[in-house]
Amino acid sequence: MTLEALYREEHGRVMAALLARVRDFALAEEAVQEAFAAAAEQWGDAPPPSPRAWLVRVATNKAIDRMRRRVKFPEVEMVELPAPEHDADVTDERLRLMFTCCHPALAPEAQVALTLRTIAGLATEEIARLFVTEPSAMAQRLVRVQKKIRDARIPYSVPAADKLAERLTAVLAVVYLVFTEGYGALRGELCDEAIRLGRLVSELLPDEPEARALLALMLLHDARRDARLVDGELVLLEDQDRSRWDRARIAEGLGALDAALAAGAYGAYALQAAIAGLHAHPPPTDWAQIVALYDLLLAAQPTPLVELNRAVALAMANGPAAGLTALDRLRFALAEVHLYHAARADLLHRLGRRDEAARAYRAALAHVVAPTERRFLERRLAELGARA
């Protein structure tokens, strides 16, 4: 394994192990960076037999060195733990770290940034790119979060059973946000990162069906990643080349979905995963069942976007006219959202109302941002024989 791959793989675990010893984010992070730098310098082609234990040992020593030099902060709390000899001695503390990073007293953006930084091991520059901000601004934001964790004493622990469900919701929301960012911006590496985090949480909390449902949802969507784009252009689900779907991801996703449903998952992630699961089956798609699932989702999450998706499914189940009536209810709530106009345009087109369809596509184009989506809408408009 290259050192870079090792960094991705081990950063979260080493960081979590170090924070179990030294209760200071900024100090731990500096020490972990130094340990990886030392590894790059000293290992050469012969990494030690237990690289993770080596990193934890070296990082701990670096942290102690830094603390001795930093007389200004004598208040850093130290917990005496034996230095690990073997990789297996390093207990997995990443779950604790996740709950600290996703603490509700931290701004949602800060939670995502800190999780990506400390658990996924993303560089500050990469996170800045994700948030479309300057690396220096992101670095400052990360410093502020770490300072708050220290100054306000945000605990480094897995919440007690009576608080777990509520706090887990925040953790899952962060993971899903990373995924949707990646999926929407067609950035596969972020989707991979989110799936890695999702796997981690569902493995560490095997009794939490919602965590597994989220993993299923991400896997089932991600399975279509390669089929979603042909020559850089977006392809609709119904037009996708199914042979390009990732069968292994679908199998894993369906397995996780079954396990989550059997364990009693019934939240928004489980319902969305169940919908994605129906889409993964060979045609004909069971649209009536999908509409029924959207009805349940709408009860759990009454948002205009869920209603929009339900209307589209309804059009497939009961015909475009029924879908159009359902869409009409959203004309104020989603007046500025391109997806609403695009869905309307498609239904009008199917009903043969070409002029109205063209107008709706133009409205969608007025609000769309992503270039791939813009080109997709322009193509649809051109198919109508109309000009933008």
Partner 1 sequence: MQYMLLIYLDEPKAAARSQAEVAAAVAMHTPYIELLRENQRYVTSKVLAATRQGRTLRTADGKPVVTHGPFAESREQLGGFYVIDAPDLDVAIELAAQCPALQTVAVAIEIRPIARTAPIADAGELLLAFGGVPAAGDWVVLADAGSATTLRLRGGKVALTDGPFRDPITACRLAGACDIADPRPAHAIEVRPLR
Closest CB to partner 1 among residues 103, 249: 103
- At 249, phi and psi to the nearest 5? -65, -40
C-alpha–C-alpha distance, residues 351 and 347, integer Å: 6
Shortest Cβ 150–partner 1 spacing (Å) = 8
* Secondary structure of residue 230 in the 3-state scheme: strand
How many residues belong to the site for partner 1 (CB under 8 A)?
A: 15
Shortest Cβ 62–partner 1 spacing (Å) = 26
Please, where are the H alpha helices in the chain? 3-21, 25-42, 51-69, 94-101, 108-118, 124-130, 135-151, 161-184, 188-204, 209-222, 247-262, 268-280, 287-300, 304-318, 320-328, 338-350, 354-367, 371-383
Contact flag: residue 367 with partner 1 (CB under 8 A): no
Closest CB to partner 1 among residues 152, 248: 152
Contact flag: residue 106 with partner 1 (CB under 8 A): yes
Burial of 264 (0-12, 13-18, 19+ CB in 10 A): exposed
Q: Which stretch binds partner 1 (CB under 8 A): 144-152, 226-234, 261-269, 326-334?
A: 144-152
Contact flag: residue 73 with partner 1 (CB under 8 A): no
C-alpha–C-alpha distance, residues 375 and 388, integer Å: 11
Q: Which of 78, 107, 299, 388 binds partner 1 (CB under 8 A)?
A: 107
Shortest Cβ 152–partner 1 spacing (Å) = 4
**Pattern 149-188, partner 1, x by CB under 8 A:** --xxxxx---x-----------------------------
Structure tokens at 201: 């949480």
C-alpha–C-alpha distance, residues 97 and 92, integer Å: 10
Shortest Cβ 110–partner 1 spacing (Å) = 7
CA 12 to chain centre: 16
Closest CB to partner 1 among residues 148, 244: 148
Q: Which of 8, 148, 196, 374 binds partner 1 (CB under 8 A)?
A: 148
Shortest Cβ 149–partner 1 spacing (Å) = 9
Closest CB to partner 1 among residues 49, 155: 155
Q: Which stretch binds partner 1 (CB under 8 A): 84-92, 140-148, 310-318, 370-378?
A: 140-148
Contact flag: residue 230 with partner 1 (CB under 8 A): no
Contact flag: residue 105 with partner 1 (CB under 8 A): yes
Contact flag: residue 101 with partner 1 (CB under 8 A): no
Contact flag: residue 79 with partner 1 (CB under 8 A): no
Closest CB to partner 1 among residues 148, 196: 148
Closest CB to partner 1 among residues 106, 270: 106
Q: Which stretch binds partner 1 (CB under 8 A): 49-57, 100-108, 249-257, 259-267?
A: 100-108
Closest alpha carbon to 226 in 209, 243, 211: 243
C-alpha–C-alpha distance, residues 282 and 332, integer Å: 36
Shortest Cβ 170–partner 1 spacing (Å) = 10
Structure tokens at 314: 């309804």
Contact flag: residue 104 with partner 1 (CB under 8 A): yes
Asked whether 236 and 291 are in contact (CB, 8 A), the reply is no
Q: Residues 350-359: contacts with CB within 8 Å, 24+ apart? A: 350/315, 350/320, 351/320, 351/321, 351/324, 354/384, 354/385, 354/386, 357/384, 358/384, 358/386
Binding to partner 1 in span 262-321, by CB under 8 A:
none
Asked whether 294 and 310 are in contact (CB, 8 A), the reply is yes
CA distances from 299 to 217, 266, 280, 303, 310 (A): 19, 12, 24, 9, 12
Positions that interact with partner 1 (CB under 8 A): 103-107, 110, 144, 147-148, 151-155, 159
